[in-house]
Structure 1
């Protein structure tokens, strides 16, 4: 009976040990390193849809996880990696700007929330949007 209890205890311990060895813990600190944090689309005609990819790398020593990315305008669509980014790896965040209904000098911010030491990173885009319809009405 003692041998059976010892074998069961050994199997339980080995099972727990194998389970723990498969789980990954993020013991390091991930860090964003963006190639650019600001992009100027230049002069656009209202209605143009343009995009830019903000390249970045994880220059930290922990796995980088982007939790969410938000823009301050519904005119922006964002595509970002949902998989963890290992230390030393690179990827990009694509920002698509639809200039329909906009006019003049435009400044938009994109907030990136991640498991980094500074939990947010700010990206920005600018453009000068020429909107003939709005310009026509403002001259009368």
Structure 2
């Protein structure tokens, strides 16, 4: 009898503890510096009918044939311009391989402003033809864009 009452008491403590922590965790983990609210830009876009537009200077980079001993890592800059009418926010860059990493701008890109997305390719585990795609997700009217890397690793 005592063990059943103890189990019920523990159950209620866990339930009450979990419900109370939901609101405090989301508030305390929220970033305080350089806060960008994509929802606010999306709302502005829908109200005014304006959009950002992500336009790359070059969407494909061909590094040719390289020796991985000489070039264990390749850094590529993809330049782009926001040719739209409101600030462009790049949410994320989805990579298709563990051999890739990408750095995206952390701030809104104003209309007619240029910036870069930096992509790094680790060639040490690669051999032969390499063709990789990175998907860029943003608040632009072309909300998902892709950029490619190709070449041959010896």
TM class, shorter-length: 0.7 to 0.9
* 1:42 counterpart = 2:42: no
Using the TM superposition, give the Cα deviation of residue 41 of structure 1 relative to its aligned residue in structure 2, in angstroms: 1.1
Indicate the residue corresponding to 1:8 in structure 2. Answer: none
Using the TM superposition, give the Cα deviation of residue 68 of structure 1 relative to its aligned residue in structure 2, in angstroms: 0.5
The 2-side partners of 1:86 and 1:101 are apart by: 38
* 1:59 counterpart = 2:91: no
* 1:108 counterpart = 2:132: yes
Q: 1:86 aligns with which of 64, 85, 110?
A: 110
Larger Rg: 1
4+ residue runs of structure 1 moved beyond 4 angstroms?
none
Indicate the residue corresponding to 2:122 in structure 1. Answer: 98
**Structure 2 residues without counterparts, runs of 5 or longer:** 1-39
The 1-side partners of 2:109 and 2:132 are apart by: 26
The 1-side partners of 2:55 and 2:141 are apart by: 13
**Structure 1 residues without counterparts, runs of 5 or longer:** 1-22, 131-140
Indicate the residue corresponding to 1:72 in structure 2. Answer: 96
Report the RMSD for the aligned CA atoms in angstroms.
1.5
The 2-side partners of 1:126 and 1:44 are apart by: 11
The 1-side partners of 2:58 and 2:87 are apart by: 21
Using the TM superposition, give the Cα deviation of residue 46 of structure 1 relative to its aligned residue in structure 2, in angstroms: 2.4
Quick check: 2:54–2:142 contact (8 Å CA) kept in 1? Answer: no
Q: Encode CA deviations 1:111-130: one digit per residue, 9 max, x unaligned.
A: 00001112100000011000
Corresponding pairs, count = 108
Indicate the residue corresponding to 1:14 in structure 2. Answer: none
TM-score, normalised by the number of residues in structure 2: 0.66
Q: Encode CA deviations 1:53-99: one digit per residue, 9 max, x unaligned.
A: 00000001111000110110010111110100110111000011011
